[in-house]
């Protein structure tokens, strides 16, 4: 587990997950890592929030009431104001075509349920670190896409 640093608290993370148990699980583990997050339980609420604010990382379920996760991911990536936002898909949709679709709409990571909490925290920390070091967004994202497509 990564060190908790004071700067991390400034990063904005949104968890979009309709299962309250899982939503709670993720926020609990994020806060344990010194990260605060906003919990959203349906697609429409997520879109409303994304229209108003820019997040650093969005953890996104696919099968959501209202608007599905793939659409939300695409609207994030299509929004010039939010181009720095990392999207981690977190979904029960585990078919190869779902993963390909995820990479097509621009997801940076694609985790299938049941997922490992440790792995999720690793990814989130990595992305936050990347943002901290002010890396150019394009290069790692391309790499991540390749990893995701694999």
Partner 1 sequence: MRIKLYWKLTFIFCIIVALAIAAGYAYLAPHLKSYVENGVASNIKRQLFLSKDLLEALQKDKTAPIDFQASAARIGDILGLRATIIASDGKVLGDTDLTGDQLLVVENHAGRPEVKAARAGDFGVSKRFSSTVKKEMLYMAVPFSLDSGRGVLRLSVPLYDIGLLQEKVRNVVVVSVVGILLFSLGLTVFVSVFISRPLTEMSLIAKAMAQGDFSKKAYTRSQDEIGDLARALNTMSEDIRGKIESINSGKTKLDLVLSSMFEGVIVTDAHENIIIMNPSLRKLFLIDMDPEGKRPLEVIRNNAVDDMIGKIVKEKQQLATEEIVINIPEERILKVNGVPIMSNNRLEGVILVFHDITELRHLEKIRQDFVANVSHELRTPVSSIKGYAETLLDGALEDKVNAKEFVNIIYQDSNRLVSLINDLLDLSKIESGKLKMSFASLDPVLLIKKGVTVINNQAQAKSISLEVNISQDLPKIKADETRFAQVMINLLDNAIKYSSEGAAVIISAKAADGVLQIDISDSGMGISEEDIPRIFERFYRVDKARSRELGGTGLGLSIVKHIVSAHGGQVWVKSELGRGSTFSFTIPLA
Note the residues at the interface with partner 1 (CB under 8 A): 18-22, 24-26, 28-29, 32, 41-42, 63, 65, 92-95, 112-118
- Of 29 and 75, the one with the shorter C-beta distance to partner 1 is 29
- Of 65 and 78, the one with the shorter C-beta distance to partner 1 is 65
> Which residues are paired to 112 by β-bridges?
91
> Which residues are paired to 16 by β-bridges?
40, 60
- Of 42 and 132, the one with the shorter C-beta distance to partner 1 is 42
- Of 21 and 80, the one with the shorter C-beta distance to partner 1 is 21
101, 71 contact by CB (below 8 A): no
């Amino acid at each position: 587990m990564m060190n908790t640093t004071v700067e991390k608290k400034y990063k904005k993370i949104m968890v979009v997950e309709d299962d309250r148990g899982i939503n709670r699980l993720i926020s609990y583990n994020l806060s344990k890592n010194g990260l605060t997050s906003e919990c959203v339980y349906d697609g429409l609420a997520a879109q409303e929030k994304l229209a108003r604010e820019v997040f650093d990382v969005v953890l996104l379920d696919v099968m959501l009431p209202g608007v599905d996760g793939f659409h939300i991911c695409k609207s994030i990536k299509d929004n010039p104001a939010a181009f720095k936002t990392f999207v981690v898909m977190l979904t029960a949709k585990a078919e190869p075509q779902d993963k390909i679709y995820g990479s097509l709409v621009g997801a940076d990571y694609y985790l299938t349920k049941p997922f490992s909490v440790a792995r999720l925290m690793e990814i989130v920390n990595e992305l936050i670190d990347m943002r901290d070091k002010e890396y150019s967004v394009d290069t790692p994202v391309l790499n991540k896409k390749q990893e995701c497509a694999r």
